Structure 1
Amino acid sequence: MGNSMANETERMTITRVFDAPRELVWKAWTDPKYVVQWWGPKGFTTTACKIDFRVGGKALFCTKSPEGQEFWNGIEYLEIVPYEKIVSLMYFADVDGNKIDPAQLGIEHEAIEGAYDMTLFEDLGDGTTKLTFIGNEPMKDAAESGQLEGWMETLDKLADVVAELV
């Protein structure tokens, strides 16, 4: 890719195995009816969730922290391979979905130049599915900023939603 540093930097990567078929995990990850139930770390609630799930489409979420602060996230879908892979770009947004600098929200986010988020869905063949989320920031920074922990908690919530779908 364009940036050599991205090769040397270990990107934030989280894997989780779900006791559910791949189609169900995919559905929970992409259908707003379910996303609204798991999006965001522990203690956060999602108050708005619009998803235009197609290449070139966008999603917009609003999450509320336990203290009542609202955060908006936008996602742009760059590549979708049904039941296998989603390549997207996630960013902090205003209520209209326009990209904003995370520093405006007091958030440190060290994105790797030109790196995208990637979500992979792997059918393990025994009714279980391995989901791999690769973020667009270095693992070290993600761990220090709390991003990593936030994503782990988010996937815990996703696991609860998936369990109810099985």
Structure 2
Amino acid sequence: MTQNTANETERMVVTRVFDAPRELVWKAWTDPKYVMQWWGPKGFTCPVCKMDFRVGGKYLYCMKSPDGWEGWNAGEYHEIVPYEKIVSTMYFADSEGNRVEAAELGIEHEAIDDSPDVITFEDLGNGQTKVTFTGNETMQNAIKSGQVEGMNQILDKAAAVIAELARVK
């Protein structure tokens, strides 16, 4: 189940309920071997995922399109509350993790005052977990640029990984 909020000034918010306990969803979100299975929209792969998962730690992800194009994202973790919340910055990067301005990549991206991304994990009981992703762009811009659609595709892929983790647990 996905829920989107559309308002010209509100931040991008995408939610998803997973049929798995919070600890399992957290594991899929914080272990590079699982992130590599779901990062990037439908049809994309994640050949590189480096995570120093601690406050002040950095990460570097690569998403690769079916035609071989590579898009790099990097960032830093600012707050981690185990099983509850991750606050981080994310930016476009090169393969070494150096910041690259969106305009240099031909991407229209308007961050809201360098706002961080916030991901929360809520235990709904009955083995379900609600994940809420709050991005650093307005919902209107995120819809226009395809970020909302991409995030929903990423969450679809994450759901498949989490379902497999739950099955083999």
With the shorter chain as reference, the TM-score category is over 0.9
- Structure 2 segments unaligned to the other structure (5+ residues): 1-7
TM-score (norm 2): 0.92
Alignment-derived partner of residue 122 in structure 1: 122
Alignment-derived partner of residue 25 in structure 1: 25
Letter matched to residue 75 of structure 1: G
- Secondary structure (helix, strand or coil) at the match of 1:23 reads helix
Alignment-derived partner of residue 42 in structure 1: 42
Alignment-derived partner of residue 67 in structure 2: 67
2-structure distance, mates of 1:29, 1:162: 9
Root-mean-square deviation (CA, aligned residues, Å) is: 0.9
- Secondary structure (helix, strand or coil) at the match of 1:100 reads coil
- Percent identity of equivalent pairs: 69
- Structure 1 segments unaligned to the other structure (5+ residues): 1-7
Letter matched to residue 64 of structure 2: K
The CA deviation at 1:105 is: 1.2
Letter matched to residue 144 of structure 1: K
C-alpha distance after superposition, 1:84-136 (max 9, x if no partner): 00000010011110111011111111110131100000000111000000000
More moved, 136-145 vs 57-66:
57-66
- Secondary structure (helix, strand or coil) at the match of 1:118 reads strand
C-alpha distance after superposition, 1:2-30 (max 9, x if no partner): xxxxxx82111001000000000000011
Alignment-derived partner of residue 84 in structure 2: 84
More moved, 103-112 vs 151-160:
103-112
Q: Alignment length, in residue pairs? A: 159
Displacement over 2 Å in runs of 4+: none
